[in-house]
Every structure is written in C-alpha cells, then in structure tokens.
Amino acid sequence: MTNFKGNTVHTSMSFKAALLGGVLFVAQISGASAAGLVDELSALMMDHQKIKAAEADLAAARANVEVASGGYYPTASITANVGNEHIATHNPLTTRTTTSMAQREVDLSLTQTVWDFGATTATVDGSKLAVDQAQATLKQTRQTLLLAALSAQLNVASAKRVLDHQSNSEASIKRQTELEDARVRRGSGFATDILQAKTQLAGAQAARVRAEGTLRQSLNRYRAVFGAPPADIAGLELPNIKGITLPASEEEVVTAALDNNPQVKISAIQVDIADSEITRVHAAGYRPVISASAEQKYKRDVGGTLGVKNERLVKVEATFDFNMGWTAANTLLASRSGYAASNSRLKDTRDQIEEQARNAWQSLVTARANADFLKNQANIAGEFLDLARKERTLGQRSLIDVLSGETSLINALAAADRAETDVAIATVAVLNVMGQLDISVLQ
C-alpha cells in the first residue's frame, strides 16, 4: 500500500510537470528564436530548388531586357564570298561573249532604326515589367517556402510533445494497472477494476500509436521542406511568434494584403504587360519602320568585268509590310482581348486574396480563443486528477476514476498543445497573406 501511494505521488508530480509544460508552450514559442533558427531558414532560402528556379527566372528576365534594348542599336552585317563565275552572252546584234572568272566580293552594311512609332520602346517596357513580375514571383516563392518551413517545424515540435504526453500516459496507466493487479492478488482489490484498467491501457496504447504516426508524417513534411530530418527533434528552436506585431483589425489585414500580396502584384504587372503589348502590336502592324543605312561593297572580277569595283550607298528608307489577310487587325484584337483577360484576372485575384485575408484573420481569432479554452480545460483536468488521486488513497475513488482523469488530462494537454501550434501557424499565415512574411520578423 505504501508503494502505491509513493507511485501515486510521483505520477501526480509528473502530470503536473506535463501540464505546466503544455501551459507554458506559448512562452517557449516566444523565447526560443535564436540565431540558429534564423541561420537555418536563411540557408534554406538560399539553397532550396524552388528559390533557385525563381532566381533563374529573374536572371532570364533581366537578360531579356538587354535583348529587347538591342532594338535601339544599329545592326552591322558583313558578307564575303568567293567562287567561279561563268557568263555566256548570246545576242544576235552583238558578238557572242563568254567569260569565266574567279570572282570575289565583300559587302559591309550598317543599319539603324530611326523611328518605329514606339514598337521597340513598348517591347523594352514589356521586358522590364517582366523583371518586376519575376521579382514578385521570387518574393512569393520565398514567403510560401518560409510558411511551409515554419509550419513544418512547429508541427514536428508539437507532434513530439503530444507523443511524449501519450507515452507518459501509457506508462502511468500500465504501472497503476500492475499495482491494482497486485492488490487483487492480495485480496484487497476488484477484478473488474483490472479489466477496466486494461481497457484504459489499450486506449492509451492506441493513442500513443496515433501520436507516433502523426510525428512520422510531420517528419516527412519537414524532410520534404528542409531536405533532411531534424538532427534533434527535442531541441528544435521555435520562431519568436510573440514578438510579431499584427494589425488590430480584420480590415487592416485586408488592406495590407491587397496592397502588398505578391499574387496581386503579379496580376497587376500582367495587366501592364498586356497594355504594352497593345502598343507594340499597333505600331508594328499599322506603322512603317524608318531606318538609315550605309553600305560598302568591294568587288573583284564580278559580273564578267575584270578589275576592282567599289560601291558606297547611304540612304534613309521607310518600310511598311501589310499582310492582306488582315493579320495586323487580328493580332491587335488578340492583344486587346489579352488585356481584358488580364484585367479580369486581376479583379478575381484581388477577390481571392481578400477572402484569404479574412479567413486567415478569422482562423487566428478562432485559434487564440480555442487555445485559451483548451488551456483552461487542461488546468481543470489537472486539478481534478490531483483530487482524484488523493481521494483514491483515502478509498473514496475507484481506480477507474483516476485512470479516466489521467486520460482526460492527456487529451486536454494534447488539444491545448495543438491549439497553441495552430495559433503560431495562423500568425505566420496572416503575415504571409499580407505579403510581410520574412525572416527578419522572427528576430
């Protein structure tokens, strides 16, 4: 009997410690953001393949600006040829002549577009807008990856704590079942209590198995994001969620999201690109191209004439090509339709982002309220278990009451822990939809 009381006191203290750990989870989240976490996330932002792909797209967009700007510069051309030229002349009014010479010719030309009515400028403007779009896409990729990384880290840490709770519960129920079995053998217990205790033990074992599965799934997600499992699950450093400042109202979140969300910026830039395309297509299809050129030709033994011949030509010319199938009109119609489509997509994107912003804010509000209620529930469950254990030692409670209290406490602890994790993830999700999720906000 004495051993039973000693184990009861020890178990009660361990559950108080577990409860305290669950209740103080917020403090752990707010104070555990050390340089190690920031360094780890910074390395991820540099080495992840999604980031590298977005950076390569940005580099390609910048190179395309230089390609488009080439339209402002002259084009130099050089052509050289050598061969055998055979000319036979058959004219009844003159003497028949035949020449065969090893002709050589070099042609040099320099052509500069003088005016194309804005076609080149529109092309350059479109390529510059593509750079802005690639930069917005890179920012969006970074924020999405950072949200995934933080969520993965928080979920692994939470799953590990829940598994610890369930393992402690299983060990406690098993220990008390063995003690009760010893009491029955001594004639001071009830066989029905043993059966009910074994039922509780089976439930605790099933809960522990589920917690193990959840942890493994969390680790799989962590590995997918970071490329490798965490070196020390128990020592994972958590972000400084408590240090993050958020707007005070839903409307402020929506306004910030519509102003700063990368998806909105990408859609808005696409509208500008479509607009510049209309300008380019109109100029290319309905306006001539005015250009200036200079040519220099060197000929030797060409055209059946022995000797050297030099030709120089400087000119300004206007060129206008018009396809009789009204290709210009159809191309312009297509570009205008593309502009209308881009505008519609921008409006739809803004509607979607507004919905996401409102949902993210509501998720945060709900998570905070839920976490408060569940922490209170865990506190009450812990107090009940303490009283039930004391009454058990006095013979006023059955073993099943104690085991049920333990199960309720563990479930409450797991729910409270999950709720606090939901608060943390909801917080960074609000930052993400606002377009303000960055490593610097975690420091």
Model pLDDT for residues 117-130, shown as the tens digit of each residue: 999 999 999 999 99
Alpha-carbon torsion 223, 224, 228, 231, what sign? negative
Sequence-separated (6 or more) residues with CB below 8 Å from residue 97: 87, 88, 89, 304
Q: Is 74 helix (H, G, I), strand (E, B) or coil?
A: coil
213-251, pLDDT tens digit by residue?
A: 999 999 999 999 998 998 888 888 888 788 788 999 999
114 or 399: which leads in pLDDT: 114
Q: Is the pLDDT confidence value at 14 over 50?
A: no
Calculated CA dihedral for residues 98, 99, 105, 110, nearest 10 degrees: -30
At 92 the pLDDT is 72
Q: What is the mean pLDDT of the chain?
A: 86
Enter the DSSP assignment of 442. G
259-271, pLDDT tens digit by residue?
A: 999 999 999 999 9
At 29 the pLDDT is 42
Q: Is the pLDDT confidence value at 322 over 80?
A: yes
At 439 the pLDDT is 87
403-433, pLDDT tens digit by residue?
A: 888 888 888 888 898 999 999 999 999 999 9
DSSP secondary structure, 131-199, as one string? HHHHHHHHHHHHHHHHHHHHHHHHHHHHHHHHHHHHHHHHHHHHHHHHHHHHHHHTTSS-HHHHHHHHH
Alpha-carbon torsion 246, 248, 366, 32, what sign? positive
* Domains defined for the chain, CATH in brackets: 2-73+119-287+330-442 (1.20.1600.10)
Q: 204, 230, 211: which is closest to 418 by C-alpha? A: 211
At 370 the pLDDT is 93
At 190 the pLDDT is 62
Which run of H or E residues covers position 4? helix 2-23
Q: 50, 436, 37: which is closest to 225 by C-alpha? A: 50
Our measurement of the distance from residue 195's CA atom to the centroid of its chain's CA atoms, rounded to an integer in Å, reads 52
Q: Is the pLDDT confidence value at 28 over 80?
A: no
Distance CA 202, CA 166 (A): 12
Beta bridge partner(s), residue 104: 82, 300
Q: Is the pLDDT confidence value at 108 over 70?
A: yes
36-68, pLDDT tens digit by residue?
A: 788 888 899 999 999 999 999 999 999 999 999
Q: Is 107 helix (H, G, I), strand (E, B) or coil?
A: strand
What mean pLDDT is predicted for residues 393-402?
78
End-to-end CA distance of the chain: 54
Other Cβ atoms closer than 10 A to 320: 10
